[in-house]
Structure 1
């Protein structure tokens, strides 16, 4: 069975195309595994690239921020490029030129749209919080209309996206295999540390987060 083709010319992986993945499941898995994306856009001809928290619902990636944000205003007026990268392992070879890294990455092209309906905004923000801390939204002081009104919620479709992944070991030249240097992969992972409870917190036990041990 042949692999799916790139959804557009600008999403086609040209450098090391064997690492490309165009399946929707491959893209969404990486989007879900990350907390932060980088959004590139233009304002008055100047290029900006801003890291921001994101989440996914269905076939869209969501971001949020203050309604006065120049970035959010610019994103609904022009094209954007969203990138995500996760480092999974350090690949140590017998030569400096063959050292590498195992990683997962996604590039998304398109245009953000504003989510204006208050109930849609409230529901999506709940999905954002509960996605990080399962079932936490119901325990929080309810968000009020003023807070909701001063928050902009944007989303971009994942239709024009591609993933690029390296998830294997060392690729040394055959003549270097006997060189007396350690070769292998050192895995990398994200772990939560010990929670630091605020002195005035009513509860002492921290909530669980789905990113522990990633």
Structure 2
């Protein structure tokens, strides 16, 4: 745990979890699941509170065969779901491109999406520091060595929960526009895929950061991938 990379190679799905519409887009490739979870930074946690559905976006990290999320001990719904052993769903989606077909009806998206079902488990207190470090290193690699240590008060107000990757359904579309020589469409109308690319922008120092303060290595690595240079903010 917290760095353990062992995993099984396929997703086991029970009958209720099987995709029924466009079932051919379902994948059981666990490597594809891990690639999705290791690339995206935000997922959506869905719970039912007092009979009302609640969906909240949350930062997360994959640690081996679990997802890690965190929140305030005073914040409620996730800890309540964990205490009640309620089944939750955690969804992660990556939009990879827009598919322009020769009709609006046939236009689509290329994407990878996964929904994890299960019960949130509180991380034991003696494992909280390691779990928070794993979460931080996923979101902001290298930052933990550049800032002060977390105080006991901060630790006491933070709770880490984990969700096992035991019950997962994943769906993928990675194809061009549907077309055929004899489909009856006007082929002089452009059709194809517009890939979506994302990139970090230029770092912007806070108001109270003194002029000339070097941009830290963690930020440089995030925005440029270059760990060997130093820049001035």
The TM-score normalised by the length of structure 2 is: 0.83
Partner of 1:132: 139
Higher relative contact order, structure no. (Cα contacts within 8 Å, ≥ 6 residues apart):
1
Are the counterparts in 1 of residues 88 and 120 from structure 2 also a CA contact under 8 Å?
yes
In the TM superposition, residue 99 of structure 1 has moved relative to its aligned partner by 0.4
Structure 2: distance between partners of 1:144 and 1:69: 19
Greater mean deviation of Cα atoms: 87-96 or 19-28: 19-28
Q: Structure 1 pair 52/83, CA: closer, same or farther in 2 (3 Å)? A: same
In the TM superposition, residue 126 of structure 1 has moved relative to its aligned partner by 1.2
Are the counterparts in 2 of residues 131 and 210 from structure 1 also a CA contact under 8 Å?
no
Partner of 1:182: 190
Are the counterparts in 1 of residues 91 and 113 from structure 2 also a CA contact under 8 Å?
yes
Structure 2: distance between partners of 1:68 and 1:170: 48
Are the counterparts in 2 of residues 84 and 106 from structure 1 also a CA contact under 8 Å?
yes
Q: Give matches, 1:77-88, under 5 Å.
A: 77=84, 78-88=86-96
Structure 2: distance between partners of 1:211 and 1:54: 20
Are the counterparts in 1 of residues 121 and 163 from structure 2 also a CA contact under 8 Å?
yes
Partner of 2:200: 192
The TM-score normalised by the length of structure 1 is: 0.90
The question of 1:24 aligning with 2:69 is answered no
Q: Which runs of 5+ in 2 are unaligned?
A: 1-8, 226-233
Q: Pairwise CA RMSD of aligned residues?
A: 2.1
> How many positions carry a matched residue from both structures?
210
1:141 to 133, 139, 148: 148
Q: Which runs of 5+ in 1 are unaligned?
A: none
